[in-house]
Amino acid sequence: MTRLFRRKTAAVAIAALALALAGGGIAVAKPTAESAQPTARTAQQPAVTTASLNSAKATLAKGDGMSAQAVSGFYATAVNANGTKARGAGVVIKYGVGEYEVQFGSNVTNGIYVATIGRPDSCCIPPAGEISVARRLLTPNAVFIQTRDSAGVPADLPFYLLVHR
């Protein structure tokens, strides 16, 4: 019986080696001309405008008040694709396609920022895409958000933002 197992083991090992050497199960896809690579992404924020600075100063001067979000140490905001605030804290400024700034009533420079694409209404699944969030240059009480479609092209997408100060 052991002699039979040795022969089967040797046969299976040789068959596996033959398949591996013959390239069995290995496929390589060649990119076509139609499948373009995502566009180059820029890490540049748009220049801070005078209107944006004035708005940031006014929001900061107004402060948090005693809202529930201010007491708990975080801000939560839901923003529509067109740049209007659906609900939550902050002032939203839309710069260009997929470029948003959200200003708050206190300094968030050392905060933690989390953003995700999502619809603020109760309808449907949100569109697919990418989102990134960073500190807003020269504005200590604001964050900058960029949204892109799945191909990496800037697109206006609705999103949720959570900032923990």
Residue 49 pLDDT: 84
Tell whether 36 is covered by a domain.
no
Q: What is the pTM of this model?
A: 0.68
Tell whether 21 is covered by a domain.
no
pLDDT, one tens digit per residue, over 122-157 is 888 888 999 999 999 999 999 999 999 999 999 999
Residue 108 pLDDT: 93
Q: pLDDT band for 19, please (50, 70, 90 cuts).
A: low
Tell whether 17 is covered by a domain.
no
Tell whether 12 is covered by a domain.
no
C-beta neighbour count of 152 within 10 angstroms? 14
- Asked if residue 83 lies in contact with residue 93, where contact means CB atoms within 8 angstroms, the answer is yes
Tell whether 9 is covered by a domain.
no
Parent domain of 54: 50-164
Mean pLDDT of 67-84: 82
- Asked if residue 129 lies in contact with residue 123, where contact means CB atoms within 8 angstroms, the answer is no
Residue 66 pLDDT: 43
Residue scoring higher pLDDT (12 or 91):
91
101/140 Cα distance (integer angstroms): 12
117/127 Cα distance (integer angstroms): 8
Residue with tokens 């197992």: 5
Tell whether 28 is covered by a domain.
no
The total number of structural domains in the chain stands at 1
Tell whether 31 is covered by a domain.
no
Q: pLDDT band for 17, please (50, 70, 90 cuts).
A: low
Strands (E), 44-124: 74-79, 85-88, 91-94, 99-103, 112-117
Tell whether 44 is covered by a domain.
no
